[in-house]
């Protein structure tokens, strides 16, 4: 069997890398093992495996972080308001507006709950009507 020259070079390079990795494992040098992987493989290789590229300084794609950030609902930070400089009338007006906002939020949640209950009742009604129709068909077939 004739082996081309390029195959011999590749084989010798692979065996040299393998021998070097065995030496690194013998020394228990974890940092050099990761550095060897970083030299051998492009960063896209690690991205495809959903791993941070070794010793990338955090520049690699964090594991599962992008998906987690996409599906997390946005929670706005509460506004900090300094009311020390306001008059008592303005402070009372702000309190009234905040109470009105809380009440409107309560009404909105209550309306959403009522809509969900109505949706569930409608679905149950459709299921019952389908069962009644199927029962009527079965009764007709029996006759």
Q: Is the pLDDT of residue 20 over 90?
A: no
Three-state SS string over 70-138 comes to HHCCCCCCCCCCCCCCCCHHHHHHHHHHHHHHHHHHHHHHHHHHHHHHHHHHHHHHHHHHHHHHHHHHH
Q: Is the pLDDT of residue 61 over 90?
A: no
State the distance between the two ends of the chain, measured CA to CA, in whole angstroms: 83
Q: Which residue has the higher pLDDT, 99 or 42?
A: 99
Highest mean pLDDT among 20-24, 81-85, 109-113: 109-113
Across 61-66, average pLDDT: 50
117 CA to centre of own chain: 30
d(CA 85, CA 100): 23
| Burial tier of 6 (Cβ tally within 10 Å: 0-12, 13-18, 19+) | exposed
Using only C-alpha atoms, the chain has a radius of gyration, in whole angstroms, of 34
Q: For residue 139, what pLDDT is reported?
A: 92
- Of 51, 29, 49, the residue nearest 21 (C-alpha): 29
Confidence label for 100 from pLDDT (cuts 50, 70 and 90)? very high
Q: Is the pLDDT of residue 101 over 90?
A: yes
- Of 74, 72, 69, 36, the residue nearest 55 (C-alpha): 36
Structure-token pair, residue 102: 């809380």
Across 17-28, average pLDDT: 87
Q: Which residue has the higher pLDDT, 47 or 117?
A: 117
């Amino acid at each position: 069997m004739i082996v081309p020259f390029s195959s011999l070079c590749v084989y010798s390079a692979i065996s040299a890398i393998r021998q070097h990795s065995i030496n690194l494992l013998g020394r228990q040098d974890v940092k050099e093992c990761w550095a060897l992987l970083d030299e051998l493989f492009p960063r896209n290789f690690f991205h495809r495996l959903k791993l941070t590229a070794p010793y990338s300084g955090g520049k690699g794609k964090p594991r599962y972080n992008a998906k987690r950030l996409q599906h997390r609902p946005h929670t706005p930070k509460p506004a900090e308001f300094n009311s020390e400089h306001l008059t008592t009338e303005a402070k009372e007006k702000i309190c009234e507006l905040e109470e009105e906002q809380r009440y409107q939020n309560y009404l909105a949640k209550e309306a959403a709950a009522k809509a969900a209950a109505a949706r569930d009742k409608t679905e149950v009604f459709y299921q019952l009507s389908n069962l009644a129709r199927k029962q009527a068909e079965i009764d007709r077939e029996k006759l």
